[in-house]
Structure 1
Amino acid sequence: MNTNPTLIVCLSCRKSSSIAASSARRTSFAKDSATAPHNSCARSPTLTSAWQAGMQLQLLDSTCSGQVTSKGFLRYGDKAYRHFASSKTHWDARNSCWNVNASLAVPLNAGENAFLASLVNTGTFWILADDATTEGVWVNTDTSDPLPYARWIVGQPDNAGGTEDCAEITYQALWNDLPCTLSRYYACEIPVAQCDQLKDDIRCSYLL
C-alpha cells in the first residue's frame, strides 16, 4: 500500500558523557572519557522548542532513554536513533545511514517500534526490512536474519502489484509494504549498548 511522507520533528542537544576509543578509523572523532562518569545519562536542558511544546515520547525502559546526542541521535534502550527528512529509495536510505556510520533502523520489539515511530508526528519512513528474496518472509535487509517482531497495518503486507518488497513504518507505529524504488524519509540507528561497553565501533562516535 502506497502512502506519502511528510515533515518531522528534529531534536538536538549535547550528550553529557563521552566514550573512549582506540581504533585508527576513529581518530577524527575527539573523545575525552574523563569529562564525565562513564555511561552518564544526564539530559541537557537545552532541548528544542518542539520537545518543550509537548512532544511526549513513550520511554519504556533504560535509564538513558530520551537522551539526545550532539549529532541528533536520540537514545532508547540499546540503540540510538535519528530521523532524516530526505526522501530516498530504500537502497539509498541504507547507503545514507552507512555514510554516517549507522544502519537503517529496524525495531526488534514493541518498545523500539513505539519509540521509533514517535520520532515523527505524521507520515511514514523506511525501516530495514524486506521480503525480496522469499515473498512473505520478512528479514533484516543487511543481515538476512528473520525479523523477531512486526506490526503490520490490517490487511498488510499485501504485495500490491507484485512489487512491494520493502517496509515503512507510520507515525502510528504500524508497518506497510511498498516498492523499494519509491522515495521515503528514513531513520538510522547506532548500537548504544556496544558503546556503553567500550566496544571499538566507529558508530559510537555519533554518540558524542
Structure 2
Amino acid sequence: MEEEQLHEDLKVFKGKLQPQGLKSFITVYLLLAFSFLLIFTLFAVSLSRVSALSSKLQELPSEQNHSVSGRDFLLFPCGPGSREWEYFGGKCYYFSLTRMSWHKAKAQCEEMRSQLAVIDSYAKQNFAMFRTRNERFWIGLTDQHSEGDWEWVDGTDYKTTFTFWKEGEPNNSGSNEDCAHLWVSGKWNDVYCTYECYYICEKPVPK
C-alpha cells in the first residue's frame, strides 16, 4: 500500500516538475546570461573611460610638468642637480671650496654657466658676508682695463650702484691690484689678480 502510494506521489511530482522545472531552468539560464552580459557591458564601459582619461592626461604634459617643477623648485630652487648652489633673492650662488686666481675663477664660473658674483645691493652684501666670514672670496669686479675705472663682469654700472670697500680701499698698492675680493671682514679689497682665494659664482634661477 505504501509502495503504491509512493508511486502515485512520484507520478504527481514528475507531472508537476517537468513543465515548471523546465521553465525554472530556462529562467535561471536567462538571468545568468543577462548578468554576464551586464557585467561585460560595465567592464567595457569602464575600460573605455580609463582609456579616455589616459589619453587626456597624455594631452596635458605641460600641466603635469608644471606641478612637478613647482614641487622641485620648493625643494631645490637652483635645480635638483645643483644642490651645492644656494638660493638668495631670485638667484643662485656657489661658494667655492678651492682657491685660484681671479681669471681662473672667472673661467670656472663661466664653465658652470654662471659668472663671478655681482654685489649690487646691501641685502646681497649681507648674504655674502655671512657665508664668507673669515675667508677671502673673489667677486666679479675689476679695473684691469683702465686703472680706477672699476667694472662689473656683467656690465652693471659701477658708478651708480652699491659699493662696500674696506676703509682706504681701493688703493692699488704696488700698482697692480686690479681685482676685488671680499676681505675676511666681508668688506671689499683690491688685490693683484693672480692672488689665489675662494670665489663666488652667480646665476639666474633655472626656468
Which interval holds the TM-score relative to the shorter structure? 0.5 to 0.7
Q: Unpaired segments of 5 or more residues in structure 2?
A: 1-64
Coordinate RMSD, CA, aligned = 2.5
Maintained 8 Å contact 2:140/2:180: yes
How high is the sequence identity, in percent, across the aligned residues?
Answer: 27
Q: Does 1:138 align with 2:150?
A: yes
Residue of structure 1 in register with 2:67 after alignment: 34
Give matches, 1:1-208, under 5 Å: 32-37=65-70, 40-41=73-74, 70-71=81-82, 72-143=84-155, 145-146=157-158, 148-192=161-205, 195=206, 198=207
Distance 1:69 1:174 in 2: 32
Residue of structure 2 in register with 1:55 after alignment: none
User: TM-score, normalization: structure 1?
Assistant: 0.60
**Structure 1 residues 137, 93: CA separation in 2 closer, same or farther (over 3 Å shift)?**
same
Maintained 8 Å contact 1:126/1:184: yes
Distance 1:38 1:138 in 2: 41
User: TM-score, normalization: structure 2?
Assistant: 0.60
- Letter of the structure 2 residue corresponding to residue 34 of structure 1: S
Q: Could you say which structure has the greater relative contact order, defined with CA pairs below 8 angstroms and 6 or more residues apart?
A: 1
Q: Unpaired segments of 5 or more residues in structure 1?
A: 1-31, 45-63, 199-208
CA deviation profile, 1:66-123 (whole Å, cap 9, x unmatched) = x896521111102110101211111000000111111111211111111122223321
Maintained 8 Å contact 1:124/1:171: yes
Maintained 8 Å contact 1:68/1:74: no
Maintained 8 Å contact 1:68/1:75: no
